[in-house]
Amino acid sequence: EAGVAQSPRYKIIEKRQSVAFWCNPISGHATLYWYQQILGQGPKLLIQFQNNGVVDDSQLPKDRFSAERLKGVDSTLKIQPAKLEDSAVYLCASISNTEAFFGQGTRLTVV
């Protein structure tokens, strides 16, 4: 079974620039999450999708973060404009009935 694919693996941008991350979940998984993992901390939930609809985005900083999941498959997470404190690994998780499968993440460095 193919895993959760994320790209790019690494991204370095200057503050106030914009950036986008892409996630391709495991085939057939309707539920998808985006998490933010700051260095030395556990992942923190940003947003949950069920198919192409948002289930919970209460922890997403909506003034700068946005996410979409077109056609209920791939998802993109965007930050505009980026701040220094957005430096983190952004993880996508694809959910089966019994388990959350995480991708390798995109490591964002904002300088």
Binding site for another protein (CB under 8 A): 4, 31, 33, 35, 40-45, 48, 56, 91, 93, 95, 97, 99-105
Best CA proximity match to 52, nearest among 30, 35, 33? 30
* DSSP per residue, 35-86: EEE-TTS--EEEEEEETTEEEE-TTS-TTTEEEE-GGGS-EEEEESS--GGG
Taking the complex as a whole, how short is the minimal distance between the CB of residue 31 and another protein, in angstroms?
A: 7
DSSP helix/strand/coil, 91? strand
Q: Which is nearer to another protein, 82 or 106 (CB)?
A: 106
Taking the complex as a whole, how short is the minimal distance between the CB of residue 16 and another protein, in angstroms?
A: 28
Taking the complex as a whole, how short is the minimal distance between the CB of residue 2 and another protein, in angstroms?
A: 14
Q: Which is nearer to another protein, 27 or 98 (CB)?
A: 98
